[in-house]
Amino acid sequence: MSRLIFILNGPNLNLLGKRQPHIYGHETMADVEAMCRAEAAKHNIEVRFHQTNREYEMIDWIHEARESAGGILINSAAFTHTSVAVLDALNTFDGPVIECHISQVHKREAFRHHSYVSMRADAVLAGFGTQGYVLGVQRLAFLINAAEKAAKK
**At closest approach, how far in Å is the CB of 34 from ligand CA2?**
17
* Contact status: 77 vs ligand CA2 (CB under 6 A): yes
Spatial neighbors of 121 by CB under 8 A, at least 6 apart, are: 74, 90, 97, 98, 99, 115
* Contact status: 103 vs ligand CA2 (CB under 6 A): yes
**At closest approach, how far in Å is the CB of 9 from ligand CA2?**
9
Q: Of 105 and 144, which has the nearer Cβ to ligand CA2?
A: 105
Task: Establish whether 101 is a catalytic residue.
Answer: yes
Q: Taking a C-beta distance cutoff of 8 angstroms, is the pair 134, 35 a contact?
A: yes
Q: Which of 24, 43, 106, 114 is catalytic?
A: 24
DSSP summary character for residue 85: H
**At closest approach, how far in Å is the CB of 111 from ligand CA2?**
8
Chain centroid to CA 1? 18
The single residue among 1, 2, 4, 12 that binds ligand CA2, judged by CB under 6 A, is 12
Q: Which of 63, 101, 113, 133 is catalytic?
A: 101
Q: Which residues pair with 7 in a beta bridge?
A: 49, 73
Can you list the positions of beta strands (E) in the chain?
4-9, 46-51, 71-75, 97-101, 123-126
Task: Establish whether 24 is a catalytic residue.
Answer: yes
DSSP summary character for residue 26: S
Considering only 7-15, 51-59, 83-91, 134-142, which stretch makes contact with ligand CA2 by CB under 6 A? Answer: 7-15
Number of H helices, E strands in the chain: 6, 5
Q: Which residues of the shown chain bind ligand CA2 in the complex (CB under 6 A)?
A: 12-13, 15-16, 19-20, 24, 75, 77-78, 80, 101-103, 105, 112
Q: Which residues belong to the active site?
A: 24, 101
